[in-house]
Amino acid sequence: MLVITSPANLNRLEEIRTNHLKSIGLMPGPAGNAKEAIAWLSYNIHGNESVSSEAVMQVIYDLLDTQNGKNAAMAE
């Protein structure tokens, strides 16, 4: 498993996870005013296929590339 986040959110992973579970009704209690999004990207349905592993590396690169115009909103 790979988590891509800011250093501040890395220290709050458990809080973010439980707030998410509360907001979708899978954990009791009120959810906080969380603004963080959680995206689950799953690759490699078949273990003998390398294409999925290569694709995820490109997706991660594109998401983290601050020069990528598609990510302008995320860089702010």
27/45 Cα distance (integer angstroms): 29
Hey, where are the domains in the chain?
Answer: 1-40, 42-76
User: Burial, 19: exposed, middle or buried (Cβ in 10 Å; 0-12, 13-18, 19+)?
Assistant: buried
69/67 Cα distance (integer angstroms): 6
Q: What is the pLDDT along the chain (76 residues), one digit of tens a residue?
A: 788 888 989 999 999 999 999 988 899 998 888 778 888 888 777 767 667 778 888 888 888 888 877 765 554 5
Let me know the angle formed at the C-alpha of 37 by 51 and 17, rounded to the nearest 5 degrees.
100
Cβ(34)–Cβ(19) under 8 Å? yes
